[in-house]
């Protein structure tokens, strides 16, 4: 039997962030767009992202530290989440650089944004799907804050839909893995749930 190493958070040399991001994989990416009170845009990818509830429809993502995204959401209570498709992976990564709050990342990288139907922040125009959200609540965990947003509108390109259902093969979402690793869209396997 292979030997197993036991690593405990708090032990010397143990980096929980590095271990979590390498083991909790693949992680979907919330490409979050916000605006500050003066209307300056912010766009940043967050890979601690999931569904929290379907009724009401609530998504959750985590801000590690207090960044522009978190500050803007607390100030305006609105944001959008754009899906990062394979063709947008490099641009999404470019928007993760440490820009100051006065810099609109989308403008800086030359990315077109589209107006939302309900909330003020726009979404990434080239993204095949976006969620328009209003802040529901936040929960702090040490240096991190989990943001829960109620989805008030779904914006989905017709060409990625199979009837009313978004098709994974057409969405082609990428994911985050450990270190500087990104996951490309995997092969899809279908299994009906047992009765």
Give the model's pLDDT for residue 124: 98
What CA–CA distances, in Å, run from 37 to 32, 43, 72, 157?
A: 16, 15, 7, 29
Give the residue from 155, 58, 71 showing the smallest Cα distance to 113: 155
In the predicted model, is pLDDT for residue 58 greater than 90?
yes
pTM here is 0.95
pLDDT tens-digit readout, 153-169: 999 999 999 999 999 99
78 phi and psi angles, rounded to 5 deg:
-140, 150
- The CA-based dihedral angle spanning residues 117, 118, 119, 124, taken in that order and rounded to the nearest 10 degrees: -30
The CA distance from 190 to 133, in Å, is 30
pLDDT tens-digit readout, 73-82: 999 999 999 9
Measured distance between the N- and C-terminal CA atoms of the chain, rounded to whole angstroms: 37
Domain layout of the chain by residue ranges: 28-177
Q: Are strands 123-124 and 113-114 parallel, antiparallel or unpaired?
A: antiparallel
The per-residue pLDDT of the chain, averaged, comes to 96
The CA distance from 78 to 74, in Å, is 8
**Range list of H helices, the chain:** 16-23, 68-76, 89-94, 105-109, 168-171
In the predicted model, is pLDDT for residue 181 greater than 90?
yes
> H or E stretch including 64?
strand 57-64
Per the CATH hierarchy, to which homologous superfamily does domain 28-177 belong?
Answer: Electron Transport, Fmn-binding Protein; Chain A (2.30.110.10)
pLDDT tens-digit readout, 104-157: 999 999 999 999 999 999 999 999 999 999 999 999 999 999 999 999 999 999
Contacts of 63 (CB under 8 A, 6+ apart): 46, 69, 70, 144, 145, 146, 147
Two tokens at 30? 């919330």
- 134 touches 150 (CB < 8 A): yes
Give the model's pLDDT for residue 1: 83
Give the residue from 152, 191, 192, 185 showing the smallest Cα distance to 167: 185
Give the residue from 173, 146, 157 showing the smallest Cα distance to 88: 173
């Amino acid at each position: 039997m292979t030997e197993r190493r036991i690593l405990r958070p708090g032990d010397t040399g143990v980096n929980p962030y590095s271990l979590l991001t390498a083991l909790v994989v693949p992680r979907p990416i919330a490409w979050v767009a916000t605006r500050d009170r003066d209307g300056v845009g912010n766009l940043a990818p967050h890979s601690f992202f999931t569904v929290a509830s379907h009724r009401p429809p609530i998504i959750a993502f985590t801000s590690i530290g207090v960044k522009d995204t978190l500050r803007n959401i607390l100030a305006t209570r609105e944001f959008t989440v754009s899906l990062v498709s394979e063709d947008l992976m490099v641009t999404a990564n470019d928007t993760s650089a440490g820009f100051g709050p006065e810099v609109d990342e989308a403008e800086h990288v030359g990315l077109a944004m589209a107006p939302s139907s309900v909330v003020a922040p726009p979404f990434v125009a080239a993204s095949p799907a976006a969620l328009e959200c209003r802040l529901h609540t936040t929960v702090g965990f040490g240096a991190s804050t989990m943001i829960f947003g109620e989805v008030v509108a779904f914006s989905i390109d017709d060409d990625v839909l199979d009837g009313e259902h978004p098709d994974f093969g057409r969405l082609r979402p990428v994911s985050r893995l450990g270190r500087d690793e990104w996951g490309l869209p995997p092969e899809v396997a279908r299994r009906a749930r047992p009765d």
